[in-house]
Amino acid sequence: NNRTIAELAAAAPDRIVGCASVDPRRGMEGVRELRRAVKEDGLRAYKVLPFLYGAPPNDAIYYPYYSACADLGIPVLVLTGHTAVMERSDVGRPLYLDDVALYFRDLTIIAGHAGFPWTDELIGLAWKHERVFIDTSGQRPKYLPPALKHFLNSYGREKVLFGTGYPFMDYAKPVSDVASMDLREESRTAFLWDNAARIWGWS
């Protein structure tokens, strides 16, 4: 329920950003709900779980929502990678986001769960598109693929955001993982805070 999420976010506006969730199969009715949730409830992003809808993120059902997000100036968070539930995983391939990023050049796209096992595809997209970012939620940082660790510690320092997957994953272990990783200090700071702060306007 978008209003419930908005109430939770409003309790700590300097720490929590609420994301709207609307089934894209609702068509324009859903677009109106997304706009209402942003304008009236103060939610600041749109979350998409392609496996729930059986359609990859470049499917036409999402385009009215992407257009609304671009118009409203909010990011879209798209779950990428395989699913941990018994639903289709192929809809989570990061490569589908290439079409979206090419068409919606001013839309900020945050690809959740690091695209595993197609992480290299996602790294390529984040390098290619200025407004495509990688979120590591759902993955313990110490188990991230070596290519992604290298990316966030070098030329992709500004493109990777720390995440957990709470309540399915507690905060403590992922935070501990980052503390023990061999990262440059500027990479660690960007990963844990700076990149997210820049997207949400906290920097």
Going by C-alpha positions, the residue among 21, 9, 13 that lies closest to residue 202 is: 13
Q: What is the per-residue pLDDT for 165?
A: 85
- Residue 55: alpha-carbon gap to chain centroid: 17
Average pLDDT over residues 109-134: 97
Q: What is the per-residue pLDDT for 203?
A: 63
* pTM across the whole model: 0.96
Average pLDDT over residues 6-20: 92
- Alpha-carbon distance of 117 to 122, in angstroms, equals 10
- Mind listing the pLDDT tens digit for each residue in 55-106? 999 999 999 999 999 999 999 999 999 988 888 999 999 999 999 999 999 9
